[in-house]
Amino acid sequence: MEEMTVIHSNTTNHEQLLDTLMHAYGQDILQLVYAYVHDKTLAEDLTQEIFVKCYQALSHYKGQSQMKTWLWRIAINHTKDYLKSWHHRHIQVTEDVILQAVHTSDNVEQSVVQQDIDSELAQTVMQLPVKYRELIYLFYFEEWKIKDIAHVLGRNENTVKSRLRKAKQLLKERLEASAWTND
């Protein structure tokens, strides 16, 4: 998708731009939010709120960053605000949905084994503290560069690098511990 840098004050243009953003990034934003909240229905609700917020803020977009980066920043901040909110801290969520990637394979046994590995990896990543989980998600699943992650999270690049190293170490330790318990 080509970067959109010109924002007109026309409501029709904003609606068209929002529609374009939703089609281009809607699923990515949903997955990003899910990585924080671990609940599909809640992630869908928050994603809708994020796009409403985006629509309301379009007239303030200055073009100082890419539209995608700007949208990710809104999404991350909105989700973190929700996680800090009274509602989240006092309401117990009962649904526990785990995101699994399904890989196709000619060999059914290999496919089942790969699904188990993917599921274990996803569960282990989701159990990491948010500050590490978001880095793993953005770096490995979204394939973002350190510089872009630092910009979106409002952190120094060296902080992102050191946290990413720590996140990988925690992930490795937890996966190894899980392997020992499964033997």
| pTM of the predicted protein model | 0.54
Over residues 114-131, the mean pLDDT reads 72
| CATH number for domain 128-182, candidates 3.10.20.30, 1.10.287.1080, 3.90.245.10, 1.10.10.10 | 1.10.10.10
Q: Give the dihedral of Cα atoms 138, 140, 144, 148; nearest 10 deg.
A: 50
Q: What are the boundaries of each domain within the chain?
A: 11-90, 128-182
Distance (Å, whole) CA 160 – CA 147: 9
pLDDT of residue 11: 55
Q: Which CATH architecture has domain 11-90?
A: Orthogonal Bundle (1.10)
Q: Which of 14-23, 31-40, 118-127, 143-152 has the lowest mean pLDDT?
A: 118-127
